[in-house]
Structure 1
């Protein structure tokens, strides 16, 4: 009896282990065959991503083809706060490259901890981005973007305007021709590692479409001299502001349009909104005697007047379309030269 009881217990134990082995084998087959496609899809979902390809904004050039506004490649620094784990030394170096105190950087990261994506700084130069990338901080990533640059600086500032941090026009010609200059981003499928770095590019889904080039009638050399002569004149007479427009008398094309004081569109953080206005276009003013040469030239061109033709300006006022226009003083009888 004891021998039979012992054999029965052995059979029970053996059956138990056979059952466990059967379950494990079945699960292995299930994973290898039945759920293989599902698991592959789950793996791809964690590693294959579709990312944007930034598009180049169209250049603005002068009549001779010289660049007035160009977009240069930059890098924007972003992190996954949950993966961001720098050492004390790495954090200090990162803060140094970003130009902020370590404490401020820590507060910025802490404020975004609940998110999976947060910019630390936009539009870093490639050199600074390379130094930060060399720190090998977990959770640190870069995104390629473009930043607008204006080679002529303050001489064309109000005319061209500028773009915002996303390279969209918000002032001047940059805003007026946004639809023409703006590019449209493309898309590509890539493989990323767990830290978010791209380790392979699979295929192009959509080619980026660059913006169109915009050519102006402006001559950058005339623009430069017009602006600086205007500045010198303001300084000489102590005027608060001034504008100048240079036209081609044969075609009517605008060769230069400048305002002073101006601002540096490449570093505009400390300027006021008033500095951005193109006053030659937006502001109305009484032209006064400035317009006289054009009126006199038109009169002489008719052949009815000469420089010595006599004009009686009395009684120093006249009615035009129901409005009375008066001279400041009574000048009596003058020749055309005297009127001018």
Structure 2
């Protein structure tokens, strides 16, 4: 029994000796030191470095985001929209956050309509940056389909895109904006400060994927741009463009211009140009279509100037409507030049000279006037001067200074050669005939009240010429195709040789017609110019006058102008 008891006792664990006092103290000191370091670090982060750390955290979540401003709308005189801004989405990316996964990149590239090679090349080009555009101005639905892929590093940006409901019909007048919604051409450029808004700013919180978490406050509200009301009547603009396009196609012409002005206010009711372009889709754009030829291009007007030159004749002593001029034998020699009529018209009174468009008759009248009489009249009618519409690049035309003029220069000026005008200048000059001698400046904006105008022709002379212009489109004249059923109209044709490398050509012309309607109480002045018709006919009475007839007839009916002539 004793041996068993001693065996059990021998297998028990030995008792550990007590810790030495110095070792225990060292452990306590180390624990206290670590605790002090932790407390000190916490104090440093929470107290001393708190503002810095908070700013760094906010910088990664808090953002000041630009609020895009809505560009002002452009409307016609009746409030119909001609240029509006629609919301779009631009997608951008941080190249450094884009995934390395090949499948994700392929899907993203395909969604953007890009090849993988093009996408990779673009990412590589911006690899050192934190921003690059993926695709500008997408529709919200299309952009959302790409955002739904949840590709890291891809973010949206809200913007506005300009849209033109009238398309090519008023393209050159309105102009266009660039991808950043800044005016580049036409009225968009001319009124950029007025149309452009002022962006706002808001403070927001975003998550690490750039998604909006919460909007905190608005720092500055966006201020939308101002609206612009034009003098254009969209109904007349569509109709004018349609008729002009039909005439250009029918006559195989290079282009054409039509300007219709309100005879009482000078407001431009329609301004059509060909060739044109679609401002909503500029792919394959013909650069010629960008030019607003009615305002920025000039041409020699030819015989349409004869009524204006005739006003200088009628205002001179010794001349009246009954004055007779012998135009035989149908040509005359001045200096080294020969001036010809279509045929020998013999003796003509002043109305007959305009009816038959006699160059000889106008030349003989001009040579009986003072050296500067016709020049001064043209100057009073605004020729050789800026129209003052504010349109970028508007032409002043050319009215040569009267310095040592030869007899031939005085003669040619009387029948529309030796000077150049724009279609708008010509229409403005004709408002003096329609408005008791007062010329009205052209306006592209709707006016609250008619302008004062500039007296340019004696009222009696203007009224006499207005009646003579009616006989110039009589059934037996070259301008007969300008007649409008139910209305008294008047006007003058013009057929002008174009200038080539070696002077005036013999196979290229401009066909022109300028007219007023109705004669009893003028409401509109219209100028039509068809450039280089090649289908056979080229006279103004055959090419431009029918366009005037169609456009003027439709316009008078749309404007509810009562007929002033019995229907034939």
The normalised TM-score by structure 2 is 0.54
* Pairing 1:52-63 to 2, within 5 Å after superposition: 52-63=66-77
5+ residue gaps, structure 1, are none
CA distance in 2, matches of 1:86, 1:74: 29
5+ residue gaps, structure 2, are 1-16, 358-471, 473-568
Q: Residues 30 and 239 of structure 1: is their aligned pair in 2 closer, same or farther, counting only changes over 3 Å?
A: same
Deviations for 1:7-44, whole angstroms, at most 9, x for unmatched residues? 32332233122211221122223323333333222211
Which of 275, 279, 285 aligns to 1:265? It is 279
* Pairing 1:36-185 to 2, within 5 Å after superposition: 36-85=50-99, 87-185=101-199
CA distance in 1, matches of 2:233, 2:19: 109
Offset of 1:255 from its aligned partner? 0.4
Where 1:31 maps in the other structure, the secondary structure is helix
CA distance in 1, matches of 2:41, 2:133: 44
Deviations for 1:146-178, whole angstroms, at most 9, x for unmatched residues? 100000000101111100000000001100111
Q: Residues 298 and 87 of structure 1: is their aligned pair in 2 closer, same or farther, counting only changes over 3 Å?
A: farther
Offset of 1:88 from its aligned partner? 4.1
Offset of 1:91 from its aligned partner? 3.1
Deviations for 1:27-66, whole angstroms, at most 9, x for unmatched residues? 2233233333332222112211111100000000001000
Q: Residues 45 and 294 of structure 1: is their aligned pair in 2 closer, same or farther, counting only changes over 3 Å?
A: same
CA distance in 1, matches of 2:164, 2:104: 35
Q: Which residue of structure 1 lines up, in the alignment, with residue 28 of structure 2? A: 14
Which of 210, 232, 239 aligns to 1:196? It is 210
* 171-180 or 92-101, larger mean C-alpha shift: 92-101
Q: Which residue of structure 2 lines up, in the alignment, with residue 338 of structure 1? A: 356
Instruction: Answer yes or no: is 1:305 the counterpart of 2:321.
Output: yes
Q: Quick check: 1:83–1:195 contact (8 Å CA) kept in 2?
A: no
Offset of 1:103 from its aligned partner? 2.0
Name the larger-Rg structure: 2
Q: Residues 183 and 328 of structure 1: is their aligned pair in 2 closer, same or farther, counting only changes over 3 Å?
A: farther
Deviations for 1:185-239, whole angstroms, at most 9, x for unmatched residues? 0011111222222211111111111110000110011111111111111111111
Instruction: Answer yes or no: is 1:232 the counterpart of 2:235.
Output: no
CA distance in 1, matches of 2:325, 2:241: 38
Offset of 1:289 from its aligned partner? 2.0
Q: Quick check: 2:175–2:189 contact (8 Å CA) kept in 1?
A: yes
Instruction: Answer yes or no: is 1:218 the counterpart of 2:232.
Output: yes
Offset of 1:89 from its aligned partner? 4.2
Q: Which residue of structure 1 lines up, in the alignment, with residue 301 of structure 2? A: 287
Instruction: Answer yes or no: is 1:327 the counterpart of 2:345.
Output: no
Offset of 1:311 from its aligned partner? 3.1
Q: Quick check: 2:277–2:286 contact (8 Å CA) kept in 1?
A: no
* 154-163 or 327-336, larger mean C-alpha shift: 327-336
Offset of 1:92 from its aligned partner? 3.3
CA distance in 2, matches of 1:153, 1:311: 51
The normalised TM-score by structure 1 is 0.88
Where 1:74 maps in the other structure, the secondary structure is strand
CA distance in 2, matches of 1:299, 1:311: 12
Deviations for 1:72-109, whole angstroms, at most 9, x for unmatched residues? 00000001111112754443333233222122112212
Instruction: Answer yes or no: is 1:278 the counterpart of 2:274.
Output: no
CA distance in 2, matches of 1:283, 1:326: 29
CA distance in 1, matches of 2:147, 2:273: 42
Q: Which residue of structure 2 lines up, in the alignment, with residue 28 of structure 1? A: 42
CA distance in 1, matches of 2:176, 2:112: 24
Where 2:245 maps in the other structure, the secondary structure is helix
Which of 261, 265, 273 aligns to 1:247? It is 261
Offset of 1:257 from its aligned partner? 0.6
